[in-house]
Amino acid sequence: MVEKPAKDSFYAWDGDTLVLNILGRPSAKRDVIGKARNGKLNVSVTAQPRAGNATDHMVLFLAGQFGVRVSDIEVVFGRKNVNKQLRIKAPKILPPAIARQERKRTR
């Protein structure tokens, strides 16, 4: 059962799986996880938005950022769209944008 996210939250936990809502930004100067806004985490990647290539590149980038294998990330929807939802199985690292939210949540 997916934990109900906080109002306007961009992520929730389903057991040990992190469910992330993302606003993807292809054709960026560098790969970077940005700030959350309007219930989505901004993630910029250098790949061009052609036939899902930017999403594939984003998954590869995020696998390194979360310390998981590429196969541990599932694109639930948005493979060819900027609005995406990903499921990341048992992330070993939480990037700063999420770690800050987790600290606030557990206080």
Residue-by-residue pLDDT tens, the chain, 107 positions = 455 445 568 999 999 999 999 999 999 999 999 999 999 999 999 999 998 899 999 999 999 999 999 999 999 999 999 999 999 999 999 999 888 888 877 66
| CB 84, CB 22: distance < 8 Å | yes
Listed by start position, the domains of the chain span 11-101
pTM of this prediction exceeds 0.85: yes
Q: Which CATH class is domain 11-101?
A: alpha beta
Count other C-beta atoms under 10 Å from residue 48's C-beta: 11
